[in-house]
A and B are shown apart, each in its own frame.
Chain A
Amino acid sequence: MPDLARHASLQSALRAAFDARPDALALIEAHRDRDHARCPCGGVRSAALACAGWLQERDARRVAIVLTNQSKWHVAAAAALWIGAEIVPLDPKLTPGEHAALLAHAKADVLVTEFFLWRDRAFAGHAAVVEAPPNADLRGATRWEEARGGEPRFVERGRDDVACIVYSSGTGGRPKGCRMTHGNYLSQCAALLRHHSFDPGDTYLSILPTNHAIDFMVGFLGPYVCGATVVHLRTLRPEFVRDAFTRYRIAYCALVPMILTSLADGIRAKLAAVGGAKGVLLKALRGLTRLACRSRPRPAVGRLLLGPVHGGFGGRLKALFVGGAFSDPDTLRFFRDLGIPVANGYGLTEAGTVVTLNTFDAYRPDTVGRPLEGTEVRIHEAGPDGVGEVVVRGPTVMKGYLDDPALTAETIRDGWLHTGDLGRLLPTGHLVLLGRKKNMIVTAGGKNVYPEDIENVFEGLPAKEFCVFAEHYLWKGGADRLVVVVRPDGRDFVDDLRRRNRGLPDFKRVAAFLSWERDFPRTASLKVKRNDLAAEIGEAGSGGLREL
């Protein structure tokens, strides 16, 4: 494992990695079902230095990167770091208006983006545009291929200096730019690698864009410092994702719960299709695997007993990372019982990538795992049930919000980051996450109920998607009761909803439902943007609400 403690900055760690293994295969740009390009570490270094020269000539201080999931993200980020600039990673799925607001808020002076985005965006600073067609009018921007400069000067930074300004997702109101330091990232990377190290030659499948904190860590920093290979796939189409797992014999991949669920559905359908004597045998083998994996997923057992299932993941899988939202414990158990290692965790932008991780030596699918080494988690003002706000202290907690000392003081108190999430710690140290503080109801009986907690019960409802809210979260003056917003798929869901609802303890029951026809807004990682959805629904009024 690489010694990250000796580095003061990300650029120092990257430079050492580039120098250590110039010939190691660093990047594969996978174009659907074929290779588009391959690049060794030394190639990434040359490209980054050329770009760094261009940036330095323009005196870049803050470089915004707005790219989909691709290797030029790495090149642009390494270039910015090399000259000591800060990176502003933005979600490419945001609208032109949102991008403009965040670029202005961050005071970015250089923008690196893709042509399809640049078509309807504007920027006052220098812009480098990737993948511009020949003869395209770039409105003053520089073609990426031409954003090349002379030999750049390497600028070192310290652990306490800001490396990235990361906007926390799902914010409907004022922009929250988290100032993440070099120390934050180096500590996080070291703690993660302790559990999930890359061996040289290991492949990481990147399907989330690198502005996503988990991809920045396990799809950018981690692989370089370990000498692993990152495979970028620019499509989420299931056929190509499946193909990439086997083609590149993937060791790690970070997913969001929605994609994990879709993978589980695919496997379930395949398993269910096996009939006759084979079906009986399969059932027996699954039973054996489940028995062996009771305490933890054991891929070696799974590969032996359920070869075809594991073969679908390439046969070399070390872990699928899933985070960023609430993972369904049943889905986690489903994978564990097949011996497929899924490491779920809990993190938030303000505290780096990962606060807690479900490690395989103490695997609890009903939790988000235990705090990573160096990170402390406590429950603030816990009630008699042990539930309270999750607060975090440690080397990965941000330096504060950009230009917002008031919000920073409100969020980080006495060194503890107040997450706004509610949870409970088990005696084993595992954290049970219950939901967002503001999206919570307190029943007449004094019980706290978390809509996210109820959603698991409605999983499988005959509808396209659904989301549970506290009524007062949607409409000002709304009651302290739960409502479910359902996007129907044409089938009747009401009876099913009533039946599931009756199965809940009375204080957890949903009181009313609303049929909602529009696609739920989701982040690049496909997490429902609760704030945005709530705002849309709030605007539309409560006229369509029906009692259950």
Chain B
Amino acid sequence: MAAFEQTLSELLDLAAKHFEVDRASLDPDQDFFKALEIDSLKALDLLTRLETHFRVELPDYEMQGVTDFRTLAERIHARL
């Protein structure tokens, strides 16, 4: 199993690429709705991308109550 930091880093890479924002501008503890300028439906789209990348299934509810990259990475990491 990869280290958590690795998961977090890959998540940030993917988010930056998919939503075309500068990777260096993203901070793990940032509100990703704000950082990526996305709404809740677009956040589900990000979840789909993350599933493909990590080859893991992420139910919609994993997004519930989550607003920062770190917590999202924790939820993904727990499923790897």
Contacts and interface: CB of A to CB of B under 8 A. Distances in A.
* Interface secondary structure of B, over-half rule: helix
A197 interface: no
B44 A236 contact: yes
Given A237-B44, A237-B48, A522-B40, A517 B34 contact: yes
* Interface secondary structure of A, over-half rule: loop
Interface residues of A, number: 22
Nearest to A237: B44
A93 B34 CA distance: 20
Nearest to A488: B37
Given A237-B45, A237-B48, A519 B40 contact: yes
Interface in B26-45: 31, 33-34, 37, 39-41, 44-45
A235 B33 contact: no
B9 to A, nearest CB: 25
A171 interface: no
A464 B60 contact: no
B60 A237 contact: yes
Given A236-B44, A519-B67, A116 B61 contact: yes
B59 A235 contact: yes
Q: Pick from A236, A490, A519, A522 the residue with the most CB of B within 10 Å.
A: A519
Contacts of A46: none
A464 B34 contact: no
A262 interface: yes
A93 B45 contact: no
B34 A236 contact: no
Contacts of A526: 40
Contacts of A518: 31, 33-34
Nearest to A517: B34
A415 interface: no
Contact of A95 (B44, B48, B59, B65): B65
Contacts of B62: 116
B52 interface: no
A235 B61 CA distance: 9
A68 interface: yes
Interface of B: 31, 33-34, 37, 39-41, 44-45, 47-48, 59-62, 64-65, 67
Given A237-B45, A237-B60, 13 more contacts: A68-B61, A92-B61, A234-B59, A235-B59, A236-B41, A236-B44, A236-B60, A237-B48, A518-B31, A518-B33, A519-B33, A519-B39, A522-B40
